[in-house]
Structure 1
């Protein structure tokens, strides 16, 4: 059975390199990949370099626990170290946002709370899947973005090429 998942990708260290590497790894593990535009945003929760952020939608036959383990493994393969600090610079941050319409707290909280809290998650999600309904809020991502205080966090779309190949 195929499951629909959404993943947020963020990086503020060697941003272009790690965003591209993250996508290559995601494509190796998941199918039917689609992407939002890439956004640049100020660091939230700490003083740091700006982030690149996007949201990826994909399909998978993997159970929830395996999806979470796969994302953590991809982060580690890309030099991510998990420190005690929640807010810090990172090579690659892959967060599972949704897994079908599952609402759970184990092995991770779904839908991820950051969907409703952070513009760098909600805006690309609303752009990628505007008519999908948030499993708890009961509103589409487009509606949630329209209701969000869009002045609370600064982010802007950037030109981003996913591969170095020309043509």
Structure 2
């Protein structure tokens, strides 16, 4: 059985390279995978003076279970240089978060942020002709 997943991608360090490398690694975990157009956003949260981010949302089908996918996302972050202290310092080489799993919203606060919301129109255009659905994204 294939599971549907929506993942947020964010980086503010060597942004184009980290987005590209994250996309390449994510593609190995999915049967089908679609990406929103990249957008630039300002930092939110505790470290507002951090460098601007490039963000995307990816959506696709995977044969992995939820726990395994989340473990693989964290492994990709480590492979691309993410350290536990990075977010507090405002330096984020890559941030991969599982937003939605089989239509269950796992990160409702992220869903309201510009770094997700502004990615959705371009993603919707790319997945509208597939069986991939997350009505909660586009309502």
Under TM normalisation by the shorter chain, which class is it?
Answer: 0.7 to 0.9
Higher Rg: 1
- Aligned residues: CA RMSD: 2.0
What secondary structure, in the 3-state scheme, does the structure 2 residue paired with 1:113 have?
helix
Deviation at 1:42, TM superposition (A): 1.0
Query: Is the Cα contact below 8 Å between 2:99 and 2:107 reproduced in 1?
Result: yes
After superposition, residues 15-164 of structure 1 pair within 5 angstroms as 15-45=15-45, 46=47, 47-83=49-85, 86=88, 88-102=90-104, 110-116=106-112, 118-129=113-124, 132-134=134-136, 141-143=137-139
Q: Give the Cα–Cα distance (whole angstroms) in 2 for the partners of residues 14 and 84 of structure 1.
A: 14
Taking CA–CA contacts closer than 8 Å with sequence separation of 6 or more, which of the two structures ends up with the larger relative contact order? 2
Deviation beyond 4 Å, 4+ runs, structure 1: 84-87
Q: Which stretches in structure 1 are left out of the alignment for 5+ residues?
A: 104-109, 135-140, 144-167
What TM-score comes out, normalization by structure 1 length?
A: 0.71
Deviation at 1:31, TM superposition (A): 2.2
Deviation at 1:28, TM superposition (A): 1.4
What secondary structure, in the 3-state scheme, does the structure 2 residue paired with 1:90 have?
coil
What TM-score comes out, normalization by structure 2 length?
A: 0.84
Q: Give the Cα–Cα distance (whole angstroms) in 2 for the partners of residues 71 and 112 of structure 1.
A: 19
Deviation at 1:29, TM superposition (A): 1.6
Classify 1:87/1:113 alpha carbon distance in 2 versus 1 (closer, same or farther; 3 Å): farther
Cross-structure match for 1:146: none
Residue-pair matches, total: 130
